[in-house]
Structures are given as C-alpha cells and as structure tokens.
Amino acid sequence: MISVNNLSKVYKVHQRRSNLLADIFFRKYKEIVALDKVSFSIGENELVGFIGPNGAGKTTTLKILSGVLYPSSGNVNIWGFYPFDKKPDFLKQIAFIMGQRNQLVWDLPAIDTFKLNQAVYEVPENEFKKTVGELSELLDCRDLVYKPVKTLSMGERMKMELIAALIHQPKIIFLDEPTIGLDIFSQEAVRNFIKRYQQEFKKTIILTSHYLEDVKRLAKRLIVIDKGKILHDGNLKDILAKFSNEKFVSIILEKEIDETELSDIGQLVSYKFPKAVFKVKKNQLAEKISVISKKIPFADLNIEEERIEEVVKKMF
C-alpha cells in the first residue's frame, strides 16, 4: 500500500563566501545527503515505528511521503498516488502531524480550528460532530475544545492538535515526534491515544521518535535509520535482543551517602542526591539489584531501557 523504492534526497545548501560579488555570481553549494536509497513497504493498518538519531532522515522521509518535499530520486507509491502530485484525493486520505509545529489559533478555542478544517476537507456536519465526539472522548478532553488555546497546557494543546489533524478521518497518519517536549503524563496520554485510535479505527500509522518508550509501546515493527540509510527493518524484540545489552537502574536514596560507596557497586552513570543511576549489563541485572538492595538504603528503584540513540549507536 505504501511502497518506497530507492528513495534519495539531497539538500543543496548555499555556502556563503566572504567576497560578496563571488557570493552572488558564483554561488557555492554544499550537498547534504539526507536519504540514500531507502526502500521499504508498509501494509494497510500497520503501525510502524521509524527511529534514529538526530539528522537521520526521519522527518525528510515523512515530508516526502506526505508530498511536502520532492525527492531527488527514487519512487514513492501510496495507493497508486505519487505524493508530490498533491492530488486532492490523496491529501484527503493522509494527515501529517508534527509534535513541534502547530496549526491551532492561539486566541481562539480549538473547536474553531476543527471547524476550519471541516470546511477545508468538506466534512459533513454529522460526521464532524461524531469525529470530534469520539476523538475528544478517546483523549478525555471534551470540555477543553471550547477553551481558548492559549489557556491550555502543552499536553492539552497536543490533544487538540491531534483532533484538528484527524477531523477528515485520514487513512494514513504520519506522526513526527508526537510526544516531544511533553511531560510524562501527557506523553503517556498521547501514546495511549495513538494505540487505541489505531486499533479502533484501523489506520496505517508511521511514527517517528527518539524515544524507545514510544515505539516500544506502539509499534511491533521498527525501521531504524541513520545517516539516510536503513540499518534495520523488523521486529522490535529482535532489535533489542540483538543490540541492547544494558539497562539503567535508578534508585532514590533514603539518606545521602558517599559517591564511592555507590561506584563500588557498579558503573555509576549519575549521582545527585537523592537520585543515583547505574548502568548494568542485562545478564547481571538480578545480581546487581540484589547487591544494591543489601548495601544501599533506597526508597524507590526503577529499571529503564537504554535510550534508542544508545542502541542505534551500537548498530554499527
């Protein structure tokens, strides 16, 4: 349904020169290869996580898939459409949601933006009401749609952004870092929403994120990209088993103790009373936790996965 073949994107960036005339008449350009012969295909109702470090090419890929950017070479086919043609029948089927960008109007309530989008996408009134009802129910924000956007918290605003972008019931949704900058509760709310929305309404979703937590909860299949090339395409479990051999154990201390007492136990990543974080090999996890429990008085203990950036680093 979504088929991408040997997709490449090269950005040309103007390099300034000190000599103004040379700069105007003999412009120098530097080429940045953002995507280098990327190929994959995604089936209907699939939720795929697209991950990789900064500058990997994630946003560039989504921009090309949604028709915002023109590829330098290669082919993209989405239900027989070539995205960059921007055919109305294609645009009606997709949504592109960026965590850092917003379309809501600051001084107005979100419902006004929803109505604007209703008009743009020619959504019939009964469908519009049904969709706003269902989505605000799923996001648990029925009353917020009538409050001026400027009075909402970041997390609440993201919920409104999601509804605004989904008013036209797109079949394919491109989500670029939807949880970035949100507090943990809002991140969780957004994740839960994506999961339930995809299950209930059977959507095809491509989600990019820096955070393993996002993709771990949501996607079974992961495409890992770095420097414009796909490093891995497959099951999340396989990737973690293969590339992540460490976990982070964080504890909240009951009383302040000397740093050396902690570093004696294992690799201390950070210590700022009351929180201390250890890096532990997966196969030593049980042993280390038992040592910590015996030697250190703590009020709370948590085990965290490695950040995806760390995992990706090891993929070389």
Where along the sequence are the contacts to ligand ATP (CB under 6 A)?
A: 11, 13, 32, 34, 52, 54-60
Phi, psi torsion values for 176, nearest 5 degrees = -105, 105
Q: What is the closest distance, in whole angstroms, from the C-beta atom of residue 251 to ligand ATP in the complex?
A: 31
Identify the helix (H) or strand (E) that includes residue 87.
none
Q: Which does 299 bind (CB under 5 to 8 A by kind): Mg ion, ligand ATP, none?
A: none
Which among 249, 117, 102 is positioned nearest to 182, based on CA atoms? 102
State the Cα angle at 134 between 194 and 88, rounded to 5°: 75
DSSP 84: G
Q: If contact means CB under 5 to 8 A according to the sort of partner, which of ligand ATP, Mg ion, none does residue 56 touch?
A: ligand ATP
Instruction: Supply the minimum distance, in Å, between the C-beta of residue 274 and Mg ion.
Output: 35
Helices (H), the chain: 20-25, 58-65, 88-91, 110-120, 125-138, 154-166, 184-201, 212-218, 236-243, 259-263, 285-295, 308-313
Give the contact letters, 3-42, x = binds to Mg ion (CB under 5 A), - = no.
----------------------------------------
Three-class secondary structure of residue 5 per DSSP: strand
State the Cα–Cα distance between residues 308 and 304, nearest whole angstrom.
Answer: 12
C-alpha dihedral (101, 105, 111, 112), degrees to nearest 10: -130
Nearer of residues 171 and 229 to ligand ATP, judged by Cβ: 229
User: Closer to Mg ion at the Cβ: 58 or 203?
Assistant: 58
Q: How far is the CB of 299 from ligand ATP (least distance, A)?
A: 35
| Residue (7 or 34) nearer to ligand ATP, CB | 34
CB 226 within 8 A of CB 315: yes
Task: Identify what 212 binds: Mg ion, ligand ATP, none; CB under 5 to 8 Å per kind.
Answer: none
From the list Mg ion, ligand ATP, none, partner contacted by residue 121 (C-beta under 5 to 8 A by kind): none
61 binds Mg ion (CB under 5 A): no
Closer residue to ligand ATP in complex, CB, 109/178: 178
Note whether 59 binds Mg ion by CB under 5 A: yes
Shortest Å distance, C-beta 206 to ligand ATP:
12
